[in-house]
Structure 1
Amino acid sequence: MNRLLFRLRELSVQFWFIPAVMTVLALVLAELGVKLEETYGVPKWLTFVYGGGETGARSLLGAIAASSIGVAGTVFSITIAALSYAAGSMGPRLLGNFTSDRGNQLTLGTFISTFAFSLYTLRAVQGGDPPFVPHYNTTAALVFGLACVGMLVYYLAHITGSISMTRVVNSLRNDMRQALLNATEQQDQGPPGAAAPPDNFWDGGEELHAPSSGYLQLLDTELLLKKAGQDHVALRLLVRPGDYVFPNSLIAVGVPRLPKGVMDALTLGDTRTTGQDLEYSVRQLSEVAARALSPGVNDPVTAIDVIDRFGDALCSLQDRRWPDGIFYRDKQLRLVMPVTDFEGLLARMFDMIRQYGAGSPSVTIRLLEVLTVTASCLHDEQRRAVIRRHADMVREDALRVTENSGDRADIEQRYSTLRQLLLGREEVLRR
């Protein structure tokens, strides 16, 4: 069921999905309008309904159909131009954020459904004696035409804002923060601090090799726990959501044997997706910063914006409990799986920025400042040690390539502030 819901969700965000649904609904509505008028006619007290004749209805419906499909082509062209700009300046992996945007889909759907509605109604207009004019549908076509005008104005404003770098960064920040909050809320079923079994525990277990390849998009943990509990076995996964699974590679070990239907809980696909893949949104933001720091773009302000959003997400997490990937049921070990931890998360956030931004003092200084603020939000000693290690690497890389004495002094001052904060927190904990 989880796999089916996942596939439906992935289908619903496709660029064509909303326009297709709106077009089908428009055709159904057009048919209902024609049938309604053929059965009951038009009451005289409905004065707002179109009251023209056959020729006027044909001209009106033809004009609405022609103009709506023409403007739809213009809207599509603007969308392609926006996608080309996004791919060049922000990275091709962000194209999905634009094609899945509901505002873009609704705008295109409005124009296409209006065209389909008008064209279907036009075929119902008949001459003869007496002629048949679908007054309800013609009136609705007028309303849809006005809606197209409103949607065009909305779209021009929406597409202009959607390619703003700040809005894109904020949107990615929201996705990343929500994914991290959801992950840290997940609690395993074992006792707090449950230790993983020794590596030799899995020696001699039955192995599972991947029958196909692709990114692990969805991992149904509950289904795995259910299957392992039913077969009274322990299962160790070697892959996590976001990992690329190679064909015939070892992905799981079961002791004393594998439970049945392990692959039913693993959904593979050609692309990475948000949700369980905690590092995907982080990598998208990191890529924006890395492109901004490239010599061809040279936009440290965008990189600083990304660093600020990373600090926002880390301070939102604060000292939440991270899943350890060890699951018990009825006091029996049932599942062990790799998970993203705090150290790995910081590496994905800051490694590329540190490597590409070492020669930009403004980026390095802001990175140390954000690490300082993040350290002030945390109380866990191990996580502060991770921050200290990243600060050491940032300082080392920056001082190696920074020649200006003033910039070097600023970097040393920010690093000293962070170190004093960490040392002061350690003194408080010792007391």
Structure 2
Amino acid sequence: MKARLRKLLQDLGESFWLLPAVMVLAGTLLAVGLLRLDRSGMVPDALINSAWLYNGGAKGARTLLGAVASSAIGVAGTVFSITVAALSLAAGQMGPRLLRNFTRDRGNQFTLGTFLATFSYALMVLRSVRTRSEGEFVPHLSLSVGIFLAFVSVAMLVFFVGHMSGRINVDTVIELVSDDVRSAIRRLTSTEPQPEAPPAGLWRDAVPVVDHRHGYLQQLQADDLADWAAERGTALRLLVRPGDYVFPGAPIALMTPAVDGAGDAIREATALGPTRVSTEDLEFAVRQLVEVAVRALSPGINDPHTAVAVLDRLGAALCLCAPVFLSSGVLIRNNRVALVVPAVDYDGLADAMFHMIRQYAAGSPAVLMRLLEVLAAVAGCEQDPCRIATLRRHAGLALADAERSIQNPADLADVRRRHAAFETMRLRGPVALAGGAEG
């Protein structure tokens, strides 16, 4: 239940309509409150007759509010059209999976909400204006606030043009996705060593737990599920991790010893959805960034500079991982293994970062050289021999691809020098590299 609630809150937080809807409601309630204040007679006559408030008649008030309402809804339509055009451009140039970075953007939502709130406010005030024949009522304070909201809308239009022009810049998109990667690393890593996986023999007589749902695993309450297993003296091993697809009728977990209610407990602790999300899925956050580079390296776009920018962010993410431990997915209760969840290890993370970019950049010396430079920089941050071995493997793959696909001897020599610099960094550190060992 808690997992489904978290999924609901996450979906609401990332929805495009929620903030504009709240602002429309706020605009309506503001109009109702100010109209009551105008009717109460609490607004001093001196203030009404001053230059700060509207002090015209009912006819002018209706004309003014009609102009504000029609202009606000017209510009709101323009803002929506520009947003849709930006979404189309982003989907074509950078990949459809990045659309959520535009739809959840608070600047776009706030701009649209401002115009819609101004429109709803103006309508609510307009309906209260009465001419002399109708029993004259001119809400001076409410009208003045409406004029103020019109100026706010003009300012928001200027903001939106600048904001959207920056948002469709590929460097901005890369930085936004990089923020997702860094946030995922901070959430899903620890400064403390992680428990080791139990021996495979623990699951020799395990009983499979079948799940009839289908969809991507978006939320997992691992602590709650581990507590449930510990209370019943059993151990669970999930066969899927956040981001994996759950197939209907397929085993979702192993359990030893068998106890009743495991299927219900897993359903209570998990929430599925039609798409992958980066909240609990570090590898998916990385793949979103990689997709930008892969599309940039496609023959139709052929933009190696974007791929280089992505490699820089991926290297920075691995440097953030250097002092921390990736989760092992093992949860201990009462000194016993209660739950094991498949987890992304350093090898898998590096593979997700570099394999596809290297494969698509096989004929691009600039990208392969930058890949080797990034690996050298990360090797300078790392102290773990196993992680450095992973980096060395990727450096070797990049060199092998270059030797196979680059025909120009000068370009190939440049790639080899970058690989030699990586080896120098790996074996002797940055001091030796700065001393000219690269050459």
Q: TM-score range by the shorter chain?
A: over 0.9
Q: Distance in 2 between matches of 1:83 and 1:194?
A: 43
Per the alignment, residue 184 of structure 2 pairs with 179
Unpaired segments ≥5 residues, structure 2: 433-439
Match of 2:276 among 272, 275, 278: 272
Deviation track 1:120-154 (CA, whole Å, cap 9, x = no partner) reads: 11111123364111222211110100000000000
Are the aligned partners of 1:214 and 1:270 in contact in 2 as well (CA < 8 Å)?
A: yes
Corresponding residue to 2:164 among 159, 163, 169: 159
Question: CA contact under 8 A between 1:86 and 1:95: conserved in structure 2?
Answer: yes
SS at match of 1:261: helix
Aligned to 1:139: 144
Alignment of 1:382 with 2:383, yes or no, is: no
Q: Which amino acid aligns with 2:417?
A: Q
List alignment gaps of at least 5 residues for structure 1: none
- Report the Cα distance in structure 2 between the residues aligned to 1:405 and 1:236, rounded to whole angstroms: 52
Quick one: distance in 2 between partners of 1:237 and 1:277?
15
State the partner residue of 2:247.
246
Matching of residue 408 in structure 1 with residue 409 in structure 2: no
How far, CA to CA, are the matches of 2:247 and 2:14 in structure 1? 27
Structure 2 Cα separation of the partners of residues 109 and 309 of structure 1: 33
**CA RMSD of the aligned region, Å?**
1.6
- Which deviates further from its counterpart, 66-75 or 201-210? 201-210
Aligned to 2:15: 14
SS at match of 2:326: coil
Matching of residue 349 in structure 1 with residue 353 in structure 2: yes
User: What is the CA–CA distance in structure 2 between the aligned matches of 1:14 and 1:419, rounded to whole Å?
Assistant: 47
2:83 aligns with one of 79, 82, 88? 79
Q: Conserved in 2, the CA contact under 8 Å of 1:326 and 1:335?
A: yes
Counterpart of 1:215 in 2: which secondary structure? strand
- Take 1:322 and 1:85, find their aligned partners in 2: how far apart are those partners? 36
How many Å separate the matches in 1 of 2:318 and 2:205?
41
How far apart in 2 are the matches of 1:196 and 1:400? 39
* Cα separation, 1, equivalents of 2:358 and 2:134: 80
For 2:114, the equivalent position in structure 1 comes to: 110
Show the 5 A alignment for 1:179-198. Answer: 179-185=184-190, 194-198=195-199
Q: 2: CA distance between counterparts of 1:181 and 1:38?
A: 54
Q: CA deviation at 1:409?
A: 0.7
Q: Which residue of 2 aligns with 1:170?
A: 175
Q: Partner of 1:263 in structure 2?
A: 267
Contact 2:315 2:375 in 1 (8 A): yes
Q: 1:416 to 1:352 in 2, by over 3 A?
A: same
Q: After superposing the two structures, state which structure 1 stretch, 347-356 or 209-218, moved more.
A: 209-218
Q: Could you tell me how far 1:55 is from its partner in structure 2?
A: 0.4
Indicate the larger mover: 123-132 or 337-346.
Answer: 123-132
Whether the 8 Å CA contact 2:235–2:337 is kept in 1: the answer is: yes
Change (3 A) 1:64 1:194: closer
Q: Output one character per residue of 1:352-390: Cα deviation in whole Å (capped at 9) or x when no partner.
A: 000000100000011001101111110000000000111
Give the distance between the partners of 2:191 and 2:100, measured in 1 at CA. Answer: 27
| AA at the equivalent of 2:170 | M
Calculate percent identity across the aligned residue pairs: 46
Q: For each residue in 1:391-414, what CA deviation from the matched residue of structure 2 results, as whole angstroms up to 9, or x when unmatched?
A: 111111111010000011111111
Say if 2:97 is the partner of 1:93.
yes
Distance 1:129 1:335, change over 3 A: closer
Amino acid paired to 1:112: L
State which of 339, 352, 370 in structure 2 corresponds to 1:366: 370
When structure 1 is superposed on structure 2, of 287-296 and 256-265 the one drifting more is 256-265
Deviation at 1:14, TM superposition (A): 0.9
Kept in 2, the 8 Å contact 1:34–1:137? The answer is yes
> Contact 1:183/1:322 (CA < 8 Å) preserved in 2?
yes
Contact kept, 8 Å, 1:218 with 1:267, in 2: the verdict is yes
Q: Distance in 2 between matches of 1:106 and 1:355?
A: 41
Contact persistence 2:38–2:142 (CA under 8 A): no
Q: When the two structures are aligned, how many residues end up with a matched partner?
A: 422
Cα deviation 1:204-231 (Å, max 9, x = unaligned): 3332112211111111111111111221
The amino acid of 1:100's aligned partner reads R
Would you say the 8 A contact 1:224–1:265 is kept in 2?
A: yes
How much has 1:31 moved relative to structure 2?
A: 1.2
The worse-fitting range, judged by mean Cα deviation, of 5-14 and 141-150 is: 5-14
Q: Once the 2 structures are TM-superposed, how far is the Cα of residue 197 of structure 1 from its aligned partner?
A: 2.7
- 1:8 deviates by 1.3
Distance 2:198 2:321 in 1: 28
| SS of equivalent residue, structure 1 residue 103 | helix
Kept after mapping to 2: 8 A contact 1:186/1:323: no
Quick one: structure 1 residues 194 and 138, their matched pair in 2 at CA, closer, same or farther if it must change by over 3 Å?
A: closer
User: What SS does the aligned partner of 1:276 have?
Assistant: coil
Structure-2 separation of matches of 1:244 and 1:186? 30
Q: Residues of 2 paired with 1:398 and 1:36: CA distance?
A: 75
On the 8 A contact 2:167/2:173 being kept in 1, the answer is yes
In structure 1, distance between residues paired with 2:54 and 2:195? 73
Q: Is the 8 A contact 1:319 1:380 kept in 2?
A: no
CA distance in 1, matches of 2:381, 2:202: 38
Determine the C-alpha separation between the residues in 2 that align with 1:390 and 1:303. 17
* Most deviating of 120-129 and 194-203: 194-203
SS in 2 for 1:254: strand
Cα pair 2:225 2:269 within 8 Å, conserved: yes
Distance 1:286 1:270 in 2: 21
Name the structure 2 match of 1:392: 396
In the alignment, is residue 49 of structure 1 matched against residue 53 of structure 2? Answer: yes
User: Is the contact made by 2:3 and 2:270 (CA closer than 8 Å) also made in structure 1?
Assistant: no
The aligned runs of 1:174-323 (5 Å cut-off) are 174-185=179-190, 194-258=195-259, 259=262, 261-323=265-327
Q: Counterpart amino acid of 2:295?
A: R
* Distance in structure 2 (CA, Å) of the matches to 1:173 and 1:110: 29
